């Protein structure tokens, strides 16, 4: 690297532009901190645009009986997001598309009594209600449907529009860096800085705090500093995507005998308006042990078992291997809260994993609390970000998995509006 790097200093530098980094950057910018966010691929890569977009109050986790006191934080989240979507919260999400203001939980006939018993205790909280037969969504209005159906008052968001909204709230502060020519380094006094090389020019970024929100990239960033803690766990999944001709948008969990939903369905649209169902739940957890062809066969079988009245013979199928990145838990358990900590061994490094899209606001609150604890307050306003923008490009928005899996056919003519007409 050249001997004299150009130096930039911010209150906060954020590394990783998924929902965690982008939400945090919005909170910090609204509070007056000077900041820059650095992304090595595209904003929302890895987990965020691969998520199903469900902003939930933790209901599905109570199925396993493992929801703890700490997870009361998640119960608050749908209300928090709703305020932001109306422009009345701590982050302005008025340009984020809501795909659905509810999702369903249903069970096959044999599991009905378990679901009914479980949900009975929740009905008084007003977030779940049974759905009468004549109020069922079109998709489940078939004589062969014989399970019980509940409606949860939680949200499903169009994640690409969320990422775009969060990024657009941050003009001139979101930068792309080349992963291979960017590294963290710690000075003898324990101060960490980011060094990136762009067109032969070395750029050094220092900050009162550097925050790692790089998802599964956090572990490699720590390794650059010779650090192993906090340790990370990754939970692999293999999701299934099916591009079909049904207009029905559907969002829901089907309960089986396991503690995770047997099947989770969310509905999305390709950029050229084709409907896609995105299938997760136990299907995707078991799917990591299958190759794509086997998993697609399993998915076809699941849909044939649960909705035998639908015909997917003309559908196109694809799978997405993806990993959830989380702090290491005892017995590899699922964390039910956001995780943020000051990294031990250096002075100015914070690391966070939201563990769920839903918990991004919670993670930002925890990081702001760490800043307050150390009296890291907004410094004087600078034009450093605008100056840095003369050297680094703005990071683009990641493509969705379904746009990558199903590129537009040469004669695609469906518009977004045609595809969004249908209701659940």
Site for ligand FAD, rule CB under 6 A: 15-21, 38-41, 44-48, 50-54, 179, 213-215, 217, 221, 237, 239, 280, 322, 324, 353-358
Q: Which is nearer to ligand FAD, 15 or 207 (CB)?
A: 15
Q: Which is nearer to ligand FAD, 19 or 296 (CB)?
A: 19
Q: Which is nearer to ligand FAD, 137 or 401 (CB)?
A: 401
Side-chain-facing half-sphere of 253: CA atoms under 13 Å: 27
Round to whole Å and give the CA distance between 172 and 125.
Answer: 43
What's the min distance (Å) between Cβ of 93 and ligand FAD?
A: 15
What's the min distance (Å) between Cβ of 389 and ligand FAD?
A: 17
Q: Which is nearer to ligand FAD, 296 or 322 (CB)?
A: 322
Its sign, for the CA torsion 75, 76, 80, 83, is positive
What's the min distance (Å) between Cβ of 214 and ligand FAD?
A: 4
Q: How far is residue 51 from each of residues 14, 113, 138, 268, 324, measured CA to CA in Å?
A: 21, 30, 25, 11, 10
Q: Which is nearer to ligand FAD, 50 or 388 (CB)?
A: 50
Q: Which is nearer to ligand FAD, 244 or 268 (CB)?
A: 268
| Cβ–Cβ under 8 Å, residues 278 and 249 | no
Q: Which is nearer to ligand FAD, 338 or 376 (CB)?
A: 338
What is the token pair recorded at 284? 């995707």
| Cβ–Cβ under 8 Å, residues 196 and 203 | yes
- Check residue 394 and report its DSSP letter: B
Q: How far is residue 400 from each of residues 44, 241, 345, 406, measured CA to CA in Å?
A: 9, 11, 37, 10
Round to whole Å and give the CA distance between 373 and 200.
Answer: 39
What's the min distance (Å) between Cβ of 320 and ligand FAD?
A: 7
What's the min distance (Å) between Cβ of 327 and ligand FAD?
A: 11
Among residues 78, 79, 76, 74, the alpha carbon closest in space to that of 61 is found at 74
Q: Which is nearer to ligand FAD, 306 or 359 (CB)?
A: 359
| Cβ–Cβ under 8 Å, residues 353 and 20 | yes
What's the min distance (Å) between Cβ of 363 and ligand FAD?
A: 8
| Cβ–Cβ under 8 Å, residues 92 and 169 | yes
Q: Which is nearer to ligand FAD, 275 or 401 (CB)?
A: 401
What's the min distance (Å) between Cβ of 132 and ligand FAD?
A: 27
Locate all alpha helices (DSSP H) within 225-266, ordered by sequence. Answer: none
What's the min distance (Å) between Cβ of 159 and ligand FAD?
A: 8
Paired sense of beta strands 192-198 and 182-186, if any: antiparallel
Q: How far is residue 82 from each of residues 96, 229, 265, measured CA to CA in Å?
A: 11, 35, 22
What's the min distance (Å) between Cβ of 130 and ligand FAD?
A: 23
């Amino acid at each position: 690297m050249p001997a004299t790097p150009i130096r930039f200093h911010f209150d906060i530098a954020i590394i990783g532009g998924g929902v965690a980094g982008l939400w945090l950057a919005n909170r910090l910018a609204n509070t007056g901190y000077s900041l820059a966010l650095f992304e090595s691929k595209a904003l929302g890569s890895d987990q965020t645009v691969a998520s199903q977009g469900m902003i939930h109050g933790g209901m599905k986790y109570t199925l396993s009986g493992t929801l703890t006191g700490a997870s009361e934080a998640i119960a608050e989240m749908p209300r928090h997001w709703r305020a932001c979507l109306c422009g009345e919260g701590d982050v302005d999400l008025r340009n984020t598309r809501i795909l659905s203001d509810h999702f369903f939980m249903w069970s096959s006939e044999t599991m009905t009594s378990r679901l009914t018993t479980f949900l009975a205790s929740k009905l008084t909280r007003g977030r779940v209600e049974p759905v009468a037969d004549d109020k069922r969504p079109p998709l489940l209005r078939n004589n062969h449907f014989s399970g019980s159906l509940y409606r949860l008052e939680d949200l499903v968001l169009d994640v690409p529009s969320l990422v775009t909204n969060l990024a657009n709230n941050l003009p001139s502060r979101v930068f792309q860096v080349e992963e291979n020519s960017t590294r963290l380094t710690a000075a003898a006094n324990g101060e960490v800085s980011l060094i990136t090389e762009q067109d032969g020019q070395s750029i050094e970024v220092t900050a009162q705090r550097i925050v790692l929100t790089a998802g599964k990239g956090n572990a490699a960033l720590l390794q650059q500093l010779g650090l192993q803690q906090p340790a990370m766990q990754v939970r692999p999944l293999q999701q299934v995507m099916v591009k079909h001709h049904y207009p029905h948008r559907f969002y829901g969990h089907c309960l089986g005998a396991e503690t995770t939903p047997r099947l989770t369905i969310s509905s999305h649209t390709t950029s050229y308006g084709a409907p896609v169902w995105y299938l997760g739940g136990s299907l995707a957890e078991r799917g990591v042990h299958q190759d794509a062809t086997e998993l697609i066969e399993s998915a076809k079988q699941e849909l044939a078992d649960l909705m035998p009245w639908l015909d997917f013979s003309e559908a196109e199928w694809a799978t997405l291997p993806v990993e959830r990145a989380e702090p290491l838990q005892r017995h590899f358990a699922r964390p039910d809260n956001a995780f943020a900590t000051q990294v031990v061994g250096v002075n100015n490094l914070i690391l966070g994993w939201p563990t769920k899209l839903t918990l991004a606001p919670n993670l930002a609150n925890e990081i702001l609390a760490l800043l307050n604890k150390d009296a890291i307050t907004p410094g004087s306003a600078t034009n450093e970000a605008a100056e840095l923008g003369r050297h680094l490009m703005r990071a683009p928005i990641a493509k969705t998995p379904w746009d990558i899996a199903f590129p537009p056919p040469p004669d695609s003519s469906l518009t977004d509006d045609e595809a969004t007409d249908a209701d659940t």
